[in-house]
Amino acid sequence: MLVYIYTAHIEDLTWERASLLYAAADKYATFSLKNVCSSYMKDNFSPSNACEVLLLSEFHADSDLKSAVQNYILKHLKEIINSDGWKPIQHLLLKP
């Protein structure tokens, strides 16, 4: 996060780093970094990480990310319902 703050650049972003940096950026109100991480997650949704993103977007009150991941979940519902992450979040899918 400090590298981004000083350089406004982030290298080798991975799914794990993006989700961790997203949470840190939200906590410390570094909105440009939060947007970079959110965009990365939106571009890299998969059935295995969609439930995690839904929880993350709910916890950080990010309606834009939440809407994007809800749409992804609806398009890939059969795959996601069979994933391990589905049960804890199924009630969030219908929540506005």
Chain segment 23-62, per-residue pLDDT in tens: 999 999 999 999 999 999 999 999 889 989 988 999 999 9
Q: Strand (E) positions, 1-95?
A: none
DSSP 62: -
Residues belonging to the chain: 96
Q: How far apart are CA 8 and CA 14, in angstroms?
A: 17
How would residue 21 be classed by pLDDT, with cut points 50, 70 and 90?
very high
Query: What's the chain's average pLDDT?
Result: 88
pLDDT of residue 6: 80
What is 16-33 written as a DSSP string?
Answer: HHHHHHHHHHHHTT-HHH
> Which CATH code is given to the segment(s) 15-93?
3.30.710.10
Tell me the domain boundaries of the chain. Answer: 15-93
Q: How far apart are CA 53 and CA 64, in angstroms?
A: 12
- Is pLDDT at 84 greater than 70 in this prediction? no
